[in-house]
Copies of this chain bind each other. A is one copy, B any other.
Amino acid sequence: MSGKLPECGVARFLVLLEGPWATLVVRELLHGTLRFSQLREALPGISPHTLTSRLRRFEAFGIVTRAVYAEVPPRVEYTLTPVGERLRPVLEAMAVWASSVPQLAPASAI
């Protein structure tokens, strides 16, 4: 789908963080390393299907590392790479914008 997009830097960001949940997952990981179940708790409403999908993409893009610990019960931890950490200013800018626009069109959106 992204093949038709202009090849600018912003476009690469948009492909990586495609979909509403992607950014929210990154946002949680900016708090530090988290396990799969911790991400699910931190993101009420997300399905395991979606969460796995986003994490796999993040791994492929190199913004997240996946550490598996052979324990019982099993433990898997996800951590942002330095490249992923560098997304922090972007997320902060989003938050700043949102806080500066308290009332935004709700159901009026098409």
Contact = CB atoms under 8 A, between A and B. Distances in A.
Contact of A45 (B4, B12, B13): B4
Contacts of A1: 20
Interface in A62-100: 62, 83, 86-87, 89-100
A94 B45 contact: no
The majority secondary structure among interface residues of chain A is helix
B20 A91 contact: no
Interface centre among A53, A87, A109 (most CB of B within 10 A): A109
A108 B56 CA distance: 11
Interface of A: 1-2, 4-6, 8-16, 18, 20-21, 23-24, 27, 43-45, 53, 56-57, 60-62, 83, 86-87, 89-101, 104-105, 108-110
